[in-house]
Chains A and B, each alone.
Chain A
């Protein structure tokens, strides 16, 4: 069996007022994993831990089977990264920024970079500070995609991008996965982005993994049961994973849609659960007065 692109085991990190607790998940090679959760859930902390920008208090991270700290340079040479705030020098031109970064990657593909820069309409002679946030993210993407990385670590890459480019980007990432060696870890709070491309999804809330599974399993087994308030009491608590009350009744998230259909028949509507349903209902927010 192939070594996974990322294997995280019991990862812990404590900050004042926040704690990442025993996070574990595996991203197999050749797939896209979405890291989903509300702001402050711990997504960026996980990305920073993978990139060794911060030190874990416990647990292990293996990238392509290698300990990410013991083999830091080797691991990072195979990762393309995009952060929510691209860390580029504002008063340096895009061309010089590219020159400085390209030095580190033996597989740097200059023609691919130029092609992406043209596609993203990046003004290479201009300084980074003249770019909008969205354009800076495009620059980071062009850099991340130009060195034949086996793993892309994308932290909120679609934040600040217009809808047209967001869709183009997602198509582009899907195309990238035609090469079965490539894997993507995609952190976002915009769940609709992930529904287009994620093969696996890990939901995070308050520093804990609430669910980590394949999209296939989610589509098959998870659903939202919509009906009157009596649903809450009637549903087996073992398959009830979240509740949202609203003026017209209640939405209940279930991890066993077949059992729910059997139990309620025509007394309730059972819909497939979207990623957004899972985030909102597990969060327990959305209680309407």
Chain B
């Protein structure tokens, strides 16, 4: 697995660094100019951004038809999947940590270290990374770049449908449902920081990632190149 990750880093090093720099510039802008931005929103946004870093590798694999290279080397497909998961989670964690350090220590930043290095933003970042990667990786491993587009388009269509339903019907049932969802989110929000809840959340996130890994192995072993 280590060799697969090393190979991916050698072959994608420059693009990862360039994208990292672009993300850093973007996050610096938010940290300095968006003074009203709550720390949890900054954490969620940075997690969402860096969780898409593996997409860079997938785009290049598609462009150069290089998945054939990876799958011709003496390594099993499930090892390739495992390496992709570990590398993606690792890159995203480093990215979020970088985003927090940037937000906390950048001169003129609107955040203080204590705002970001608190349970709320930390758990938001962790949940953001895990959920995006858990959904994204099976798609990309099965369909490549097309998988990312399917993922993004599906998410947008789902969001648009929900918005239309909410705007058009304005029914009391929808309001009740939305009220319940928002209430549940607020309840979860209030629980962050409690040790037991944090432990449960981490277990839930790990289980989600585990299921995503098993699905990814299954679909990638069936992928034809």
Contact = CB atoms under 8 A, between A and B. Distances in A.
A164 interface: no
A53 B11 contact: no
B14 to A, nearest CB: 7
Contacts of A54: 224-225
B224 A104 contact: no
A51 to B, nearest CB: 6
Contacts of B7: 100-101, 103-104
Contacts of B73: 76, 101, 104
Contact of B3 (A83, A96, A103): A103
B72 A53 contact: yes
A220 interface: no
A87 B74 contact: no
B68 A53 contact: yes
Interface string A52-67: 1111000000000000
Given A54-B224, A55-B224, A104 B68 contact: no
A100 B10 contact: yes
Nearest to A98: B10
A117 B67 CA distance: 24
Contacts of A76: 72-75
Contact of A100 (B11, B60, B76): B11
Contacts of A87: 64-69, 72
A53 B225 contact: yes
A103 B222 contact: no
B19 to A, nearest CB: 14
A51 B3 CA distance: 19
Nearest to B222: A55
A42 to B, nearest CB: 15
Contact of B75 (A55, A89, A104): A104
A105 interface: yes
B72 A81 contact: yes
A104 B64 contact: no
B75 A90 contact: no
Given A91-B14, A99-B10, A52 B66 contact: no
B81 to A, nearest CB: 13
Given A51-B72, A103-B6, A97 B225 contact: no
A85 interface: yes
B166 interface: no
B184 interface: no
A77 interface: yes
Contact of B74 (A55, A88, A92, A105): A105
Contact of A73 (B60, B65, B75): B75
- B7, B63, B222: which has the most chain A beta carbons within 10 Å? B7
A260 B86 CA distance: 67
A91 B18 CA distance: 14
B203 interface: no
Interface string A133-147: 000000000000000
B74 A96 contact: no
Contacts of B14: 91
Nearest to B2: A103
A87 B76 CA distance: 18
Interface string B117-159: 0000000000000000000000000000000000000000000
A72 interface: yes
Interface in B52-97: 60, 63-69, 71-77, 79
A76 B72 CA distance: 7
A217 interface: no
B192 to A, nearest CB: 41
Interface string A85-127: 1011111100011011101110000000000000000000000
28 contacts: A48-B225, A51-B71, A51-B72, A52-B71, A53-B68, A53-B72, A54-B224, A55-B222, A72-B75, A73-B75, A73-B79, A75-B74, A76-B72, A76-B73, A87-B64, A87-B65, A87-B69, A88-B66, A89-B60, A90-B63, A90-B64, A92-B11, A97-B11, A99-B10, A103-B3, A104-B73, A104-B74, A105-B74
Interface of A: 48, 51-55, 72-77, 81, 83, 85, 87-92, 96-97, 99-101, 103-105
Given A89-B60, A89-B66, 18 more contacts: A48-B225, A52-B71, A53-B71, A55-B222, A55-B224, A73-B75, A74-B74, A76-B72, A76-B75, A83-B68, A87-B64, A88-B64, A88-B66, A89-B11, A92-B10, A92-B11, A103-B7, A104-B75
User: Which 4 A-B pairs rank lowest in CB-CB distance, beginning with the nearest?
Assistant: A77-B74, A76-B74, A87-B68, A87-B69
